[in-house]
Chains A and B, each alone.
Chain A
Amino acid sequence: MKFTLSWLKDHLETTATAAEVADAMTMAGLEVEHVADPTVALAPFTVARIVSAERHPNADRLQVCQVETVDGMKEIVCGAPNARAGLTTIYAPIGAWVPGLGVTLVEKPVRGVVSNGMLCSASELQLSDESDGIQELPPEIPVGTPVAQLFGAEPVIDFEVTPNRPDWLGVAGIARDLAAAGVGTLKHFDIAVVRGAFPSPITVRIEAPEMCPVFAGRVIRGVKNGPSPAWLQTRLQAIGLRSINRLVDVTNLIAYDRARPLHVYDVAKLVGTEIVVRGGQVSAGADRIAAGTAEQIIALDGRTYAAEPAMCVIADAGGERPIGLGGVMGGVSTGCDEDTVDVFLESAWFDPIVTAQTGRTLTITSDAQYRFARGVDPASVVPGLELATRLILDLCGGEPSEVVLAGQAPADPTPFAFDPAYVKRLSGLQLEDDRIGTILGQLGFHIAAAPAGAAAPWTVTPPSWRRDVEGKADLVEEVARIHGYDHLPDTPLPDQGAPSRGVLNPRQARVRIARRALAAMGYAEAVTWSFTRRDIATMFGGGDERLVVDNPIASDLDCMRPSALPNLIQAAARNAARGHGDVALFEIGPIYLGDGPNDQRTVIAGLISARSTRHWAGTGDDALFTLKADLMTLLEQIGAPVAAMQLAQGQNLDWWHPGRAARLQLGPKTVVAEFGAVHPRVLKALDADGHMLAFEIVLDAVPEPKAKTGATKARGSADLPNLMPLTRDFAFVVEDGRAAGDLVRAVAGVDKALIAEVRVFDVYRGAGVPEGSKSIALEVVVQPREATLTDADIEALSAKVVAAADKLGARLRG
């Protein structure tokens, strides 16, 4: 909303500048967006008088004028055809910035004659859109008069109103707060009652009191409508409103002045003598109208709206013809124009929720809708009507009827008990009771001493325009903001220090370790949307109806993601499309298995786009096994029970390569991670080229290390045997389908005390190994514990290794 400083001064006695007013508004809780001061741009321009105008010696269309200016007589070259001796116009000196031309004037010859300034049109000063020659001003205006003053240009303050303060949607309401904040003195107006000369020929019947509990109106007959006087036009135009005609302008003026919307109907266009306020009607089915069709209204904005039963409709013709959307917009059929003679003036109160929903459903906004949706002062119904009557009589003449009043205004706010000591308790501000009482009083609150024996010493009644104030905390805000948040004390929180065991829970601590570990391993952390496209979600095991966003920001972000991988794959593909094919990304974030509060999981997802880059020393390690190493390192870093995990292949979910992916699990039901190559079909569906390797750990499935009993963090003694470990090599021939991991696990399990490690150092297929088989060479690391092993001991261990391998169908290679 906008207002001008002079408008504010109608309500506030103050010497404050626009900047001071804006500051005070900000500190009272009104968010000032912008203070536009056109007087700054107009400052260089003053009124001047052309004394003589001669034809330019070297140009037919130019004249050389002698001009009486604020700077004395000046010779100015002018191209305007209306430049003539005796004309009073606008003068710009050398050095002035001419906003309409976007130039700063410099002293330079025009066709050989130096022009000592410029004579200006209104459009060159951006005071109008187009101009025909230089400005022609009335001759009585003295030379040197500032142009800003002439055009009523003044600062305009543009601000935002929070939804709790509908009273700030009128300049008078702002003045009240500013007066309380010490910016000036509030001017009080008594709104005089205008005596009606005859009973209103138009009556009002409310059929929907839940939508419109109170409706006041009166007829003013014999008015003369037409263009508004200059002061009213200027006032409205300064804040960006269009002047329409006197009757409509009066309603707009009061809407912005008092936050009191009104409406005017042309009585000649009304059918019947009764205004009916009701809900929208739905056709029961009639000629060419299907049953269930909502009634239609052509509103003043020229659009046609369907009024549903939940909307408030103003109707005439015995309630049959809809002529307006109550509290939102009037209809074209009964609008006032230049020919209006008798006018019916409406001042009503429409329910905020109904008005808000109507606005939303129909995507219709108006100054009235905006105000009613936030809550208009119910006590302003009759005073608003009287104020408008007075203005209409002043501007248009006419004779008013008596007021018709239907329904009853919503009850005034209820009084409640208040202890002024609560101001200090909640805000920390130490204020005298008197000061608290004064502030509340200036804001319109009524304070009474509570009856003896009451819980609090005061009983406070909020004013009718402050329905947002419901309790004692609200009063503290009123006092604190008016006294000034700048005065809040500096009070440190009681020192608790940092908790000695840190503030992160084990899962949060793991996330932090995982993030730093992956970054150290060369993965760049990405943060991607929690959404994906529903068919992609389905491809990754999600896409449940319950996880579909009803109002997505874009059609490809319409479903909560079941995995972080699709977003990473698409990100890698985007990078590849930009020429960066070799990327390693990770994301630690949520996935959504359902819509319940316990259905969210945290995943750690990593992705390598395995675009092999050429290197002089060859291709390097197999990327899939590098990824596996990264994953295992990561799991170890976050304290996962890596030794207890099983690696299962051939059971991965659909989006993994069936032969080049595996899962890590703690038993078949607890899948900790899946990793490997992404299925090419999935890559294709995501428009991703090439090969991509990935892993995804469901962090919630990784058991946390058991909390040690007792407070000790001691680690127990280290296992540092004195005896040298020794190694023995075995080569086994097994059928090709046998997993090396099975053989390693079998061999390692032969003697867990002695066998420290089993390494695979060769896998071979070819000559010497039967078709359909492969040779797996193992290095078994034996760690003697108590004594050096004898040859016999080692023989016995070897025999057990061979026997264990034999159970898997592995035979020692000859």
Chain B
Amino acid sequence: MTDLATLELDLINAIGAATTVAEVEAVRVAALGKTGAISGLLKGMGAMSPEERREQGPVINGLRDRVTAAIGGKKAELEAAELDARLAAEHVDLTLPARPRRKGGVHPTMQVMDEMIAVFAGMGFAVAEGPDIEDDFHNFTALNFPPKHPAREMHDTFFLKPDPETGERKVLRTHTSPVQVRTMMSQQPPIRIIAPGRTFRKDSDATHTPMFHQIEGLVIGRDIHMGHLKTTLKEFVARFFELDDVDARFRPHHFPFTEPSAEMDIRCDRPKPENGGKLVLNQGDDWLEILGCGMVHPNVLRSCGIDPDQWQGFAFGMGVDRLAMLKYGVPDLRPMFEADVRWLAHYGFSAFSAPNPASGLS
């Protein structure tokens, strides 16, 4: 056996015996490092005669290549094993719970308000607003409630304390209709707006809360009549309840600020055991009151500086909370304003369920 063969055997054995990347590296330094055995042989080739070099060169280079390959192979093998071992040690118990995130949500009244705004936006209605604290003129007088008229009493108005200087008693608006007045006094017809907002009446029982939400609508044009009112509201109700059509009736009613006035009902089957305790629309023998509406009273137009012989139109108002309850089967009104997180989690809506025409309202 030549010296070279012995050297190769020793190196290969040493590589094979190595159990860590560091031991392989030690063999590499011993063989191929600056002062390594093979490096010495390669250096020695410089002193050889050309003949010797022609004979020895391939032998030494071959040795170097085989040892290099062996080292590379062993190193890769050991690195893989070491990675496996390290990863095995990094095991975590993924059945452990993640840190809980709070689940937020949108209040059903606000969701429904967004839905209604989306439907009316599609029909060309802008969104108007007005203050919650109103004066008598905007809440009553301009809306054709004569002073001291019994109709005012039916509103169960909240009054603020009289102003110490003027003695004026402000009211909490009993409906969103004052926004009609504010809109008509500040902009010229044609007008097409809705006005959502908080409203207040001194009433508290299973179906009434002292604060609730309404959406008011107002359309003023040259020749807007009750046929427009009927079609617009039927269209709204159908889209809001996501029905193809709606079996509605308009029933004469009285509001001081509209003439003629009406209430709109939808045919329904009230919740009972036979229909699973759910309200079913467009079926049955019952009628569900949905909203109040009518043609804007000439006196209201006049109060707002609009000539009723030139302009006419319709107005409507509806309870947002109540329609939210009807649509989403919320049984009681009062918890709407109690901020019970369990209730909010159950009846709330995802942040990402903003109503839009592509995915539908809800």
Contacts and interface: CB of A to CB of B under 8 A. Distances in A.
Interface string A466-497: 00000111101100110001101111111111
A617 interface: yes
A550 interface: yes
A163 B126 contact: no
Nearest to A590: B132
Interface centre among B125, B131, B192, B348 (most CB of A within 10 A): B131
A163 B124 contact: no
Interface string B314-341: 0000000000000000000000111111
Contact of B250 (A31, A488, A547, A584): A488
Contacts of B153: 356, 360
A465 to B, nearest CB: 16
Given A165-B254, A471-B298, A580-B341, A490 B104 contact: no
Given A27-B252, A163-B151, A530 B228 contact: no
Nearest to A592: B133
B101 A476 contact: no
A516 B351 contact: yes
Interface centre among B100, B120, B161, B336 (most CB of A within 10 A): B161
Given A356-B153, A550-B158, A595-B170, 20 more contacts: A163-B150, A474-B259, A476-B259, A477-B252, A481-B252, A490-B227, A496-B192, A519-B350, A519-B351, A524-B102, A525-B105, A525-B110, A530-B211, A548-B160, A568-B339, A585-B339, A596-B131, A597-B133, A599-B133, A617-B99
B266 interface: no
A251 B336 CA distance: 48
Interface centre among B97, B211, B259, B342 (most CB of A within 10 A): B259
Contacts of A486: 249-250
B130 interface: yes
A560 B298 CA distance: 34
B125 A26 contact: no
B150 A517 contact: no
Interface stretch (B23-31, B41-49, B69-77, B196-204): B196-204
Interface of B: 96-97, 99-107, 109-110, 114, 117, 120-127, 129-134, 148-151, 153-154, 158-164, 169-170, 172, 192, 198, 200, 202-204, 210-211, 219, 221, 223-232, 234-235, 249-254, 259-262, 295, 297-298, 308, 312, 336-342, 344-345, 348-352, 354
18 contacts: A27-B251, A480-B260, A490-B227, A490-B234, A493-B124, A493-B231, A504-B127, A517-B351, A519-B106, A524-B341, A524-B345, A525-B106, A527-B337, A528-B339, A548-B161, A568-B339, A595-B163, A615-B97
A529 B107 contact: no
B352 to A, nearest CB: 7
Contacts of A525: 104-107, 110, 344, 348
A600 B101 CA distance: 34
A516 B160 contact: no
Contacts of A641: none
A705 B344 CA distance: 33
A208 B134 CA distance: 36
Interface stretch (A421-429, A667-675, A693-701): A421-429
Contacts of B106: 515-516, 519, 525
The 9 closest A-B pairs by CB, nearest first: A29-B252, A428-B227, A491-B227, A522-B102, A496-B124, A477-B260, A571-B339, A162-B254, A519-B351
A471 B250 CA distance: 22
A505 interface: yes
Interface stretch (A187-195, A551-559, A722-730): A551-559
A389 B69 CA distance: 132
Interface string A521-539: 1111111111100000000
A503 B161 CA distance: 36
A473 B295 contact: yes
Given A477-B260, A617-B99, A620-B99, A498 B121 contact: yes
Interface string A10-32: 00000000000000001111010
Given A525-B105, A595-B160, A497 B124 contact: yes
A597 B109 contact: no
A745 interface: no
B15 to A, nearest CB: 41
Contacts of A582: 102
Contacts of B131: 596-600
Given A162-B254, A473-B295, A592 B132 contact: yes
B102 A584 contact: yes
Contacts of B224: 493
A29 B254 CA distance: 8
Interface of A: 26-29, 31, 162-165, 352-353, 356-357, 360, 373-374, 424-429, 471-474, 476-477, 480-481, 485-486, 488-499, 502-505, 508, 512, 515-531, 545-554, 557, 560, 567-568, 571, 574-575, 578, 580, 582-586, 588-590, 592, 595-600, 613, 615-617, 620
A519 B219 CA distance: 34
Contacts of A546: 160-161, 163-164, 170
B123 A597 contact: no
B252 A545 contact: no
Nearest to B263: A31
A512 B230 contact: no
Nearest to B213: A527
Contacts of A515: 106, 110, 351
Contacts of A503: 117, 120-121, 125-127
A515 B284 CA distance: 38
Contacts of A352: 150
B338 A574 contact: yes
A571 B343 CA distance: 12
Contacts of B223: 425
Nearest to B120: A503
A580 B342 contact: yes
Given A480-B226, A499-B126, A503-B117, A547 B160 contact: yes
Given A356-B153, A488-B230, A493-B231, A529 B337 contact: yes
A428 B232 contact: no
Contacts of A27: 249, 251-252
Contacts of A28: 252
B232 A545 contact: no
Contacts of B229: 488
B334 to A, nearest CB: 12
Contacts of A578: 340, 342
A485 B159 contact: no
B231 A519 contact: no
